[in-house]
């Protein structure tokens, strides 16, 4: 388990500042200076994205931190904030990459550094829980935010964009002010989840974003469908709801991330997946509140004092064949787009081979 999470700020002509740390409150600000120094060994100035650095053996804090990994995410030069985790000795950084960027997004989106102990405790708990989340819940969690939905929608329309063009187009679609750094952080989060891929184009000297998968949220037939089929009244209700769902599935899809992206709701959905039918009086008061929310969304129905799962809310990653088809049409008249298409198809091949 990590030792501490910290938030600091890059100052171009001054000393980096420590803004907050938790649970360790008395973190030495000079340690943050060292972390930025290790990052700047790789680049002249920090750029948005991940950094994993190992503390050297001959520095000020080597007695305590030598050889230990620091997992960091830098917002970019608009917010200039670095969110980092200090890992325990011999602890591997990879499991914390996704958790770190999700916490960074939460902090950047908030616009100010939390000050209350309860808020930091909640952030710490969320960070630890994220490392144990199944991929289904992680993807739903990110799409609870409108910024992620707009970025995906834009990429489904375009297929390939420079990072700057993606930010510009996304900003045009979002009705409230949002920073460039925040949108770029969402793009990196979606890249970590296998939805996008971000690559540096050495010929054009720009970062390009490639669509790897479209994401669809939908309601599927429950695992314990035999329970429905054994009861004529439930069978009839299911047929009726399916007919209604066919005409409303797009609107319903927007609600699903909010359901399976929340840990408390997801846990009860998992129980319904496993059991199909749960007696109402076996649920705690909190679980009954969640069950009523699921009933209101048409996921479960109450029948004879029991709750029965009618639909299973889930997601699917789809190969972006329609986006590719539209891009191929564009290539008929645009010679420059042909090289982009070739690169995109190679990146898609690499990404899908990694999933096998």
Range of the domain at 298: 216-314
Same domain, 328 and 208: yes
Which residues lie below 8 Å from residue 324, measured CB to CB, with a gap of 6+? 159, 344, 345
Q: What is the pLDDT of residue 298?
A: 93
For residues 113-131, average pLDDT: 89
At 219-238, the pLDDT tens digits run 999 999 999 999 999 999 99
Q: What is the pLDDT of residue 85?
A: 93
Q: What is the pLDDT of residue 336?
A: 81
Same domain, 10 and 125: yes
pTM: 0.85
> What mean pLDDT is reported for the chain?
90
CA distance 301 to 295: 6
Tokens 């990653």 label which residue? 317
Domain boundary among 69, 101, 132: 132
Of the ranges 16-30, 118-132, 154-168, the best mean pLDDT one: 154-168
Number of Cβ within a 10 Å radius of residue 240: 10
Same domain, 326 and 208: yes
Using CA atoms of 320, 322, 328, 329 in order, give the dihedral in degrees to the nearest 10.
-160
Instruction: Kindly tell me if the per-residue pLDDT of 290 is higher than 90.
Output: yes
Task: Work out the percent of the chain whose per-residue pLDDT is above 90.
Answer: 56
Same domain, 146 and 77: no
CA distance 225 to 308: 10
Same domain, 201 and 330: yes
What total number of domains does the chain contain?
Answer: 3
At 9-35, the pLDDT tens digits run 887 777 788 899 999 888 888 888 888
Same domain, 259 and 158: no
**Closest Cα partner for 140 from 262, 223, 222, 312?**
262
Same domain, 115 and 231: no
Instruction: Kindly tell me if the per-residue pLDDT of 44 is higher than 70.
Output: no
Q: What is the pLDDT of residue 99?
A: 87
Instruction: Kindly tell me if the per-residue pLDDT of 213 is higher than 80.
Output: yes
Same domain, 206 and 281: no
Instruction: Kindly tell me if the per-residue pLDDT of 50 is higher than 90.
Output: no
For residues 328-346, average pLDDT: 89
Domain boundary among 106, 132, 158: 132
User: In this structure, are residues 4 and 21 in contact, taking their beta carbons and an 8 Å threshold?
Assistant: yes
């Amino acid at each position: 388990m990590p030792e501490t999470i910290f938030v600091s700020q890059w100052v171009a002509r001054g000393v980096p500042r420590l803004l907050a740390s938790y649970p360790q409150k008395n973190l030495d600000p000079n340690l943050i200076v060292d972390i930025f120094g290790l990052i700047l060994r790789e680049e002249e100035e920090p750029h948005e994205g991940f950094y994993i650095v190992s503390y050297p053996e001959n520095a000020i804090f080597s007695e305590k931190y030598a050889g230990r990994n620091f997992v960091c995410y830098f917002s970019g030069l608009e917010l200039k904030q670095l969110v980092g985790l200090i890992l325990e000795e011999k602890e591997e950084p990879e499991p914390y990459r996704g958790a770190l960027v999700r916490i960074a997004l939460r902090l950047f989106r908030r616009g100010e550094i939390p000050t209350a102990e309860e808020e930091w405790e909640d952030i710490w708990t969320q960070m630890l829980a994220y490392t144990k989340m199944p991929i289904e819940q992680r993807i739903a969690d990110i799409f609870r935010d409108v910024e992620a939905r707009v970025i995906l929608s834009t990429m489904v329309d375009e297929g390939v964009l420079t990072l700057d063009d993606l930010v510009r187009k996304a900003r045009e679609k979002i009705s409230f002010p949002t920073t460039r750094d925040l949108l770029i952080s969402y793009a990196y989060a979606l890249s970590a989840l296998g939805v996008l891929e971000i690559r540096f184009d050495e010929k054009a000297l720009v970062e390009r974003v490639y669509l790897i998968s479209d994401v669809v949220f939908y309601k599927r037939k429950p695992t314990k469908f035999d329970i429905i089929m054994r009861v004529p009244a439930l069978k009839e209700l299911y047929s009726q709801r399916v007919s209604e769902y066919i005409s409303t599935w797009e609107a319903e899809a927007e609600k699903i991330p909010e359901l399976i992206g929340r840990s408390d709701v997801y846990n009860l959905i998992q129980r319904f997946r496993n059991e199909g039918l749960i007696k109402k009086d076996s649920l705690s008061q909190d679980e009954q509140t969640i069950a009523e929310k699921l009933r209101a969304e048409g996921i479960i129905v109450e029948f004879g004092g029991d709750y029965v799962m009618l639909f299973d809310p889930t997601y699917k990653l789809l190969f972006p064949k329609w986006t590719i088809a539209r891009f191929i049409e564009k290539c008929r008249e645009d010679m420059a787009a042909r090289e982009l298409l070739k690169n995109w198809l190679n990146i898609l091949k690499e990404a899908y081979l990694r999933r096998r």
